[in-house]
Structure 1
Amino acid sequence: MDKIGNCATQKRKTSWKKDPEAVKENILTIATEEFARYGLSGGNINEIASKTSTSKRMIYYYFGDKEGLYTHVLERVYSSLREAEQQLDVTDLEPVAALRRLTEATFDSHVGNPQFVRLVMIENIHNAEYVRKSGIIPKLNKSIIDKLASVCERGKAIGVFRNDAEPLELHWMTSSASFYYVSNRATFSTSFGNNLFTDDGQKRIRSRVADMVLGAVVIGYQPDSGVIP
């Protein structure tokens, strides 16, 4: 190995010792891009290693194997998606406003995490095999259901929500519309134009998704005037 190669190797070894957490984060960032683009089967460990500040050997050291790395990537993107929802405190809002805030937060999380959407599409091809193996992802997903359940209970207690308001159904409605907005953007905009994906279009769809969810459970709900918030 030449002098340049020796310097590069030494630099990598130093980084492993000084900040292993930063090294793992670097690996996961590059691996997320690789798996989101090519999937589990198409993702290449050698390609990931070449773009990181470490080596293939250290990737296996930290994550076990390719499937282990993929599982950690999934857990990371789910954590990223749920973070905004988890940090959002709606306990001081009345139930209708609280449900709108939670719905909009979920929509924003999907729009802001297109890699999450692509990885979930890939994971559905695998029949959720790696989500099922994870001990972390189900707990992450439970937090938003718990928040919605609390809002539903408060709404029913004061008579503004229908008695059949179910948090899981509301989350499904929100997630399905939000997911579709990201996952099908390329084909939808090619077929119908880009109007829904401009800044104003995105704000309108965000508001429409919230109206859809609120309309399903709020007694006598009337959408806003249509002014973009």
Structure 2
Amino acid sequence: MEDLDVVVIDDARPMQTILRSTLQSFRVQRIRTFDGAEEALDAMQIDPPNLVLTDWYMKPMSGLHLLQRIRRRKMAPLCFLPILFVTAHGTRTVVEKALRGGAQNVLIKPVAPSTLYQRLQWTLRDHREFELLDDGRYVIGGMADRLDRHARKVAHIANVLHRGASPSMTRKIEMLAARRAEDERRKAALSGDSSDDFAVVRTN
């Protein structure tokens, strides 16, 4: 951790302070904070960091837009930069967009220091290869297929369970299936297993 150069991007100054303080407790050597993604991107193109922690909802450039910009082949070597989202909006849609877009991890605020440390260590040991898409963007190889298989598995379980069930029971079963899928992702993430492809952590 001592040799890391970490960029933190969040439009909320209190969150910047929390993340900076937490990273300092890990003895991270260099921490650069930015209020916006555009400013951070300009700085990173001149002086690339080792890792990025960024919020999701920001203006004028969102975290997703930043991810898409960085992952372009023409941004090399920045396009291979490890990117972790730290967001309060941990919906299924946000998580899927982040992972399909090439993010290594998604952490849900508030994040405990021990959890952040674990995910940083996991990311530094992450040896998954990048895959170049037809549109010139890099993503984590095989991620889209794994997400699709996971979604089909959840849908199949829900379909089997609610055959012949009433509408109200069907809704309950669908909610249960979605909750079960989220629990599986969370347990896998907390295990610290480097084979985990659904690294989503909620600590509140």
Shared fold per TM-score greater than 0.5: no
Name whichever structure is richer in strand by fraction. 2
Larger radius of gyration: 1
